[in-house]
Each structure stands twice: as C-alpha cells, then as structure tokens.
Amino acid sequence: MVKDIPLIQKNDRIRTIFITIGAILLFIVSVSFLNLDMATFMSRFEQSGEVIKHFLVIDASDLGTVFSELLLSLSMAVASLVLGAIISFILACLGADNISPLPFLSAVIKGIMSVIRAIPSLVWILMIVASLGFGSLAGIIGMMFPTVGYLTKSFISSIEEVPAQVIETMKSTGANWFQLIQEGILPNVSKSFLNWLAIRVEGNVAESISLGMVGAGGIGTLLTRAISSYDYGRITFIVLVIFSTMFAVEMFVTRAKKAI
C-alpha cells in the first residue's frame, strides 16, 4: 500500500503537466484567433493620458435626474425580484422531485429553467424591448426571466435536500400537498430561500443598471447618453454613483447573509 503512494503522486504530477500544457495551448490558439494588433493598442494607450484628464472632472450639475433614474433602476430590480421570487417558488414546488405532484412535470420545469438560464439577460431584455418598446416595463419583464431561471433552480435544489423522513412523516399523517409545503418544506428551507434571495438582489441591481443601457430605462440610459455625447464629467459622476450603489448593495447583501 505504501509502495502505491509514489505511483499515485507520479500520476498526479503527469496529470498536472498535461493540464498545464493543454491550458497554455488553448490560450495560444485563442489569442491567435483574435488577431490582436498590439502595436495599435500600445500607440493608443500612450495617448490615453489626455482622455483620462477629461474623466478627472466631475459634473454633478444634474444630480436630481441622476438619483431619480437610479431610484428607477433600483425599483425595477426589486419589482423583478419580488415577482420572480413568487413565480419561482410556485415552479420550485411543482418541479422538485421529492414533492412534485406529477413526475413528468418536474422534468419539464427543469428543462425550461435550463433553457432560460442558457440565454443571457441582455438577450432577454432585447427581445422584450423589441416586443413591448422601451421603458421600465420592458426592464422588469426582461429581468424576470433570468431571476426566475436562477431562483427556481436554487429553490428546487433546497427543497430536494429536505430529509425524506420529513416528507414521509407528513404524508403518513394524511397531510395534503399544500400542508406538506407549508408545514414540512417551508420550515426546512426558509433560511436557504432567504439566502438565495439575498444573493439575487445584487445580481438584479447590477442587471438593472446594465440593461438600462439598451433601452430598459434608469441610470443606465443616462450613462449611454453621456457616453454618446462624450460628456466626460457626467460619465465620471454617473460611474461613481453606480459604484457607490453597488458597494452599498454588496455590503447590505453580506450583512443579510450573515444575519440569515
């Protein structure tokens, strides 16, 4: 048995060497397909000092509009989270293998969630904007898709981790499906559900800002306008507001997760 240890260590070293070589080759192939023009990049990088000077000026003259649009972005994030959480909870109760009333329904819901999660949020918002037009409604509906995809999968995972003894005990007492969820499932998954929601808050806020740049409204729209007009001072101010907001949200989520 002791003699086998050096052989295992040797195999691990060989595996590590092959993985390292494979990663290096993959990097080289990827860079070769990009056709990077480093000479042009370096020449423009040397001229970036003049551009940076413009960004050092902060234009906060339109403070009211910026914070009004920021509030709109945060409202879209919260609204899409609440609506998405309600839908996700219903789908999770129907899609979890251990409590689903219909076995095939679980497979269907999981398959649909996989498709939703595979499509980026930007694609969803672009499709919604094309259908409903620009505005906050398109932003809310567009963000609901990735929210439902993320939370449904997470909720299902938490429900399926509930001990089988709990479910069997509830069924043996004659509890119906709704009583099973209310008295058997929720007490065991409420903390993990809140944890998933706290994590998703940060993601929704970030998406509400970025998706505003493609027509969903909010502070992202202001940033797009400032960029298109080369208003450097306003760009700097909006970016600082976004950074401060994301930092505050991250601190809130971190504290919420610790409390949970």
Q: Domain of 139: which CATH number?
A: 1.10.3720.10
How far CA 232 is from CA of 43, 126, 169, 210, 239, in Å, comes to: 22, 27, 64, 19, 10
Backbone torsions φ then ψ of 47, nearest 5 degrees: -90, 0
For residue 199, tell me if it sits in a domain: yes
Average pLDDT over residues 144-171: 88
How far CA 12 is from CA of 5, 9, 20, 249, in Å, comes to: 11, 5, 12, 43
Please tell me which residue, 211 or 83, carries the higher pLDDT value. 83
For residue 103, tell me if it sits in a domain: yes
pLDDT for 87 equals 94
For residue 12, tell me if it sits in a domain: no
Please tell me which residue, 88 or 230, carries the higher pLDDT value. 88
Q: Which domain holds residue 248?
A: 62-259
For residue 8, tell me if it sits in a domain: no
- DSSP label at residue 59: -
Show Cβ contacts of residue 216 under 8 Å, excluding neighbours closer than 6 positions. 76, 125, 129, 134, 135, 136, 138, 139, 142, 143, 208
Residue 1 scores a pLDDT above 60: no
Helix/strand/coil for 2: coil
For residue 96, tell me if it sits in a domain: yes
Give the number of domains in the chain: 1
- DSSP label at residue 177: H
Residue 51 scores a pLDDT above 80: no
For residue 51, tell me if it sits in a domain: no
Task: Go through 88-113 and write b for each residue having 16 or more CB atoms within 10 A of its CB, e for each that does not.
Answer: bbebbbbbbebbbeeeeebeebbeeb
pTM across the whole model: 0.76
Residue 140 pLDDT grade (very low, low, confident, very high; cuts 50, 70, 90): confident
Cα three-residue angle 53-56-61, rounded to 5 degrees: 130
For residue 214, tell me if it sits in a domain: yes
Q: Could you give the CA distance from residue 155 to residue 95 in angstroms, rounded to a whole number?
A: 10
Show Cβ contacts of residue 163 under 8 Å, excluding neighbours closer than 6 positions. 188
For residue 159, tell me if it sits in a domain: yes
